[in-house]
Each structure stands twice: as structure tokens, then as C-alpha cells.
Amino acid sequence: MDTVWIKDVGKKDIGIAGGKGANLGEMINKGLPVPPGFIITAKAFRNFLKESGIEKKLFDILMIDIDDDAQLKDAEKKAKQLIFNTKIPENIKKEILDKYRTLCNEEGGEVFVAVRSSATAEDLPDASFAGQQDTFLNIKGEEQLIDAVKKCWASLYGARAIFYRVKKNFDHEKVNIAVVVQKMVNAEKAGVMFTSHPSSGENVAIIESIWGLGEAVVSGMVSPDNFVIDKETYRIIDKKISEKTKMCIKDPKTGDTIYIDVPQDKRNAESLTDDEIKELVNLGNKIERIYRFPQDVEWAIENGKIFILQSRAITTINNNNIVKEGISKEPILIGTGASPGIVSGRVVIINSIKDLNKVEKGDIMVAKMTSPDMVPAMERASGIVTDEGGMTCHAAIVSRELGTPCIVGSKKATKVLKNGDTITIDGAKGTIYKGRIDTKTETKEEVVIKNKPIITATEVKVNISIPSAAERAAKTGADGVGLLRIEHMVLTLPMHPQKYIDEGRSEEYVDELVKGIKTVADAFYPKPVWVRTIDAPTDEFRAMPGGEGEPIEANPMLGWRGIRRDLTIKEHFRLEMRAFKKLFNMGYDNVGIMLPLIQHPYEIREAKQMMIDEGIDLNKVEWGIMVETPAAAILIEDIIKEGIDYISFGTNDLIQYTLAIDRNNENVSYMYDEEHPAVLKLIKYVIDKCNEAGVKTSVCGQAGSNPKIVEKLVEYGIKSVSSNIDGVADVREAVARKERQIILESALKSIKKDG
């Protein structure tokens, strides 16, 4: 079946309906006011490619160097043209039109519809802004509908989407797209609602609203009204009423989507009544309860009735920066704070795409509004300011993803500021100051330390990928580093490790490893730093200069990586061990060695012998393994006999290998479950056996940053948990809470037993 009614799908049908379609179906079935419609499934798109015979040609077009802008834009043009110029097979076309005719009959005549792309990964909690595709409004008639469907399919191959997928290691051939066809809401007013603050995670609702269709909010053409509401009491905490000069409407004559001037009496009027605000918050609370995760909700009002057009997880919450030293001077401009942080820098005004090269690292980029083409410059900027836009415009979304301070809706930054000016911006308050102002931003972790850290019996450690993050990580007060990923150091080197070996520059390579590990070991000394030997998959190595000889694997995550690579290219493993030996000779007795992707004790024996051969005294060094495969968990007693000091659960891999789920495959990613009983049973079994043998246990996968899972692990008796940097404080609180609960329950049992 190539089409399905929205009401017949739910949130578990992402592989069929895409994130947007699955969410709409879930909300319809929970009684929320969602306009009716149908979905052209992801299978239909795949059938279109295969039956029309363009599949291979399309994916060949995408084999480019994504860092070459010319190649990227050429690939976008060719891929889109290929889809536009290819006829949809008659059987697929017939099914689409049959559904459209049925929808029209149910609505009493030919209707206008919104045709929305629904990529199968875009609305997952960890999806990026860059994965989202296009929407086409006010579509009417069979010919327009088919044209809009092809445009949605083609939008999967925009330059930004191609770039994003390659950077995130998504396989183009596995990425699918569904299309939602929904009765159009001819909105008198519309906007977006966040059920938590999209940057800080603060438990308030934020509503942005404008006159007309909501497209003007997303595009950033209009600065919307902004309302902050207490979600529990429905009290309106704050209102900012903007001057709304433009509105997007359906042309009553042609049906086209057009922009017109807002009538004078509405420009500065509140676009929502208090009752409408309260009703929206009530709906937002219901939606958040459905998904148990903060939501970004699109809504519209027609004839006084609220409709929910879309809901997706907020992916940009970062509650790390919470305390700021105040700025006492008066701001020269005020806008809407879209991404927190205080930075100073040189102003570079962007009037056109040609100006992007002027933005250098550390500059503050100022524009009327940003667009996808500006992302490379936005990545270089230390701060971003726009004239227009609200919390959901392009500049705001991208800035939150990048962690870059951003102010939107300043109205006149491009006119008031001058190129070369030095300014300071506060991305939380939305204020812009003249000159450089030195301020200090304290992290959540620093505040915890200042208020005396919570002491827990279970150690709370931190994961580090990049040595430059060591100082920030150490400030969390973590009890050490549970995972230092060595491959991130290697992948940033100027050439492939084998090229160092082939060119006789092995010592240079060893010194690079020593330098990176030493940076972290210094920051944490004398606390332990467990360093995982290299675990990069072949596709990541292949991208390095000199990596052309890497094998091409269908699924690199299941391929030649981790210990299996080290036991094949033994010279490279020996170089890693020489780096460790140098560190030990320098007095870094806090460094531990961790072997990844173990699936049999013989791998440990072979690696252990090479470690000894390189002069490492395993009686004086802590060393252990990652438990990432069911095989390692099941054989843990045999593995313990090899003399390891510790194990650390790599839960990301353990879950996908136990459940046979490729977590990067959007067709099955909804089944990825940290609480699956099989996974928990394996973890508990390993902890029990290690505790019996006196072997330390830890966790360094994503589950180590999830307070709910951490509480279970503490209950099982795990000795340490290792979290992402921004999760240390929350994880420590969860550990302390669980430990207190265990002590209390034990005491109550003892009292009950004693009578």
C-alpha cells in the first residue's frame, strides 16, 4: 500500500509515515484537533525510485565531496531535476488521487490541502534542524497535488539535507520520505508553541503568534508576538507584542499563498486573546504527556477553532548555562533572546550571500534574516543577530543547534550597527551592548560545586571526545573520565594512521596521541581517566587523507572496527600502547586502558600479550574492556579470568546488537529501547558477576546520561556511571536520590524484621 489515512497510523509508524505523519496520527487518535488527511508512505517514494528506474542514477549523483560548495549545489540541482522530470508510475499516482478524491468528497467539494514532507528521521528526539524538508500550502486540484508531491520528494536532496546526512553518517540509500496531505486550515492567526523553553528547558510554555498563516513565523519574515506562560497555573508571565507588518494568506482569487500588508489597526494589536492562550497551553500539556518529551507545536486558528498542524520533539534544550554575571550598562538594541550566552565580537553585516566570506571566526554576524545558505558562516560566527524572526525562525533554530548566542527580531540591527563595530550580545535576554564587556557565565555544574557537590558512593564520571573539552569537563566535579574516545583525536590528524606508519613517522603519531591524552589526564589528575583504544568505523577512516585503502562495508558499525582492527593491524595497536607507555613513564598513573568491541576472551589474551611486549606492567596499570556485545556479556565470567580490572557498558552498541536494530536506520529506530528487558537482564548479569569477582563496573554509553536508567543501574550495584559533560549534575542528583532510597528501604526492612 502506497498511501494510508492519517488516522490509521501512530507514533510507532515512523518508518511508514515519517515523523510528522506518525505524530499527527497519534494526536488524532488521542482526540486532539488535527485536520484530516492522508499520507503518501515512504514505501511509495521507494517504489517510485525503483519502478521508474532512476534509483542508481540518483544515488550516483550524490557521490560527491560535500565540503565543495560547487559540487554540493550541482548535486542538488541534478537530483531535483531527475525527480521533477520523472513520471510517477500510474499505480502510485492512482492511489494518491483516489485518496484525494475521497477527502474532497468527505469535505463536500474540492479542497485546498497542505502538502508537507515527512522525512522518516526528522522528528525523532535527536534529529537536527537540517534534516527537515519542504511544505507547500494552498494546493488544489489533482495536477497541483502531484506536482507538490514530487517537490516534497525532491526536497530530500536539498544541499543542506545532503550535507547533513553525510556529516551524520546517514546512508542516502536508506533515507526515506513520506508526504502528508492535509486539509488546509485557512488561518486567521497562527504560530508555534514550545512546551518548555527551547534553550534552557525551563518548565514554561512559550507561544509565538502572528496574523494569517504560520509560514511567516517559520520564514522569519515577521517578528511575532511572544507570550510566556506558567504551564501549571496558566498565568501569563510575560507578553511582548511586536509590530506585525506583513501577513501570509491564501489569495481569495487565485488560491496562491501570498504576503500582504497587515491592516493598520492590527499591526500592534495582540494576535491572541487570553482564552486562546490558555487553550493552547492546555493542548500543549496534553501533547507533552503523550510524548513524555518537550514539544515544538505548530498551530492555527480558523473561525475561532484551534487546529494542531504538527508536533515534534524539541532537540535544542541545553540547560547548562544558568547563571550569568549581570551587565549594568544600557543596551543599544533589544530583540528576542533565541539562544543563550554572552559574547563580544566584531560586527559583520550580511546583505547578500556574497558577504558570507567576510565572516571570520569570532565575529558577530548581523543580517536581516538568515537562510540555509548561510550556515557555514554561522558556524564561524561567535554570535548572530537578525532584524526579523522569532524563536522558530531559521537563525534561532540553527543557533541553538550550534550552541551559538543569538538574538532575533531586533528590528534595526542592520541599520544601527556598522561593519567593524565591537558589540556584546546577551543571547538569553536579547540585549545588545556597545563595546566589549567581559562577563562570566557559570555552568550548572559550577553552581553545584560552589554549593558543595553531592557526595555519592557510586562514582559519577564524565565522557570526553575532544581534549580541548577537558577543562570544562573537570569543572563539573566529576569523579574521573569514564570514557576518553581516542579516535576523535586521530580523525582530526592531517593523515590516516597507516600513512604515518608507511612514511616512517610513527613516533610523530605516538606523540600526537600522548599530547591529546595528557591534556585530559592533567585536567583530572589524580582522578582516573579510562582511555578507549581506537574504535572508528572504516567509513570515518576512509575520509582521512591516506584513507583511500579502507574497505567499503555495507554496515561499518558491524564491521572492521575496535579490537578486531587492532588485532589485524598490530603495528597500529603497538603504537597506541607505546603512547600509553610514554604516559606511564611520565608519571600519569591515573590513565587506564580500555579495549572496545570485545566478543571473545581470546581477543583479550592476544591484546594483553602485545601490551606486555610493549613494556606495560599490567599489575601497575588499570585496564579493562567495553561490554558492547551480547557475547561479551554472556561470557563475562571467562573474560574476568583474563585479569581485567574493570568493564564499562557501551549501551548504544549493546542495545542495537541485542535487539538487532541499526539505530541509524529510521525504519526501526523507534524500537531502540534502553529499558528493553533483554538489555537490562544482560547488564544486571554482568554487574552481578563482576561484583562477585571484585571487578569494577561502569557505563559510558548514552544510558549513562539518562537519570532514569542510571537509577536502575545503581539499584543493580554498578560502581560508577559516566555521563556527557552537560549531564553530570543531573546524573549525580539521580544517583544520590536512588542511594538514599535504597538506604531507607533497607532500614525499613530491618525495622520490620526486628519487629
Dihedral, 668, 674, 676, 678 alpha carbons, nearest 10:
110
Q: What is the pLDDT of residues 523-542, one digit of tens each?
A: 998 899 999 999 888 887 88
Which of 691, 696, 683, 652 lies closest to 126, judged by CA?
Answer: 652
Model confidence at 131: pLDDT above 60 = no
Q: What is the pLDDT of residues 638-691, one digit of tens each?
A: 999 999 999 999 998 999 899 998 765 656 766 778 889 999 999 999 999 999
Last residue of a domain, one of 159, 183, 207: 183
Same domain for 216 and 334: no
Res 752: pLDDT? 72
Q: Cell numbers 514550545 label which residue?
A: 194
Lowest-confidence pick of 25-39, 147-161, 478-492, 591-605:
147-161
In the structure, what pLDDT confidence band is assigned to residue 385 with cuts at 50, 70 and 90?
very high
Which of 123, 181, 164 lies closest to 297, judged by CA?
Answer: 123
Burial 614-649 (b: 16+ CB within 10 A, else e): bebeeeebbbbbbbbbbebbebbeebbeeebbbbbb
Q: What is the pLDDT of residues 621-630, one digit of tens each?
A: 999 999 999 9
Res 130: pLDDT? 38
Residue 142, C-alpha cell as written in the block: 489533482
Residue 598, C-alpha cell as written in the block: 570485545
Same domain for 399 and 278: no
Same domain for 300 and 383: no
Same domain for 217 and 152: no
Same domain for 393 and 340: yes
Q: What is the mean pLDDT of the chain?
A: 84
Model confidence at 324: pLDDT above 70 = no
In the structure, what pLDDT confidence band is assigned to residue 316 with cuts at 50, 70 and 90?
low
Same domain for 408 and 487: no
Res 133: pLDDT? 54
Lowest-confidence pick of 61-70, 269-278, 559-568, 674-683:
61-70
Res 120: pLDDT? 63
Res 689: pLDDT? 97
Last residue of a domain, one of 133, 167, 183: 183
Same domain for 200 and 148: no
Last residue of a domain, one of 439, 468, 495: 439
**Arithmetic mean of pLDDT, 595-612:** 96
- The pTM score is 0.51
Answer yes or no: is 309 within a domain: yes
Q: What residue spans of 375-419 are helical by DSSP H?
A: 375-380, 394-402, 413-416
- CATH (domain of 230): 3.30.470.20
- CATH (domain of 356): 3.50.30.10
Same domain for 211 and 177: no
How far is 619 from 10, CA to CA, in rounded Å?
55
Answer yes or no: is 634 within a domain: yes
CA 319, 323, 324: angle at the middle one, nearest 5?
125
Which of 506, 470, 471, 500 lies closest to 488, judged by CA?
Answer: 470
Number of domains in the chain: 4
How far is 684 from 699, CA to CA, in rounded Å?
12
Of residues 557 and 179, more confidence is placed in: 179
* Residue ranges making up the domain that contains 231: 189-313
Same domain for 573 and 696: yes
Answer yes or no: is 752 within a domain: no
> 3-state DSSP call for residue 650?
coil
Q: Which residues are catalytic?
A: 394, 700
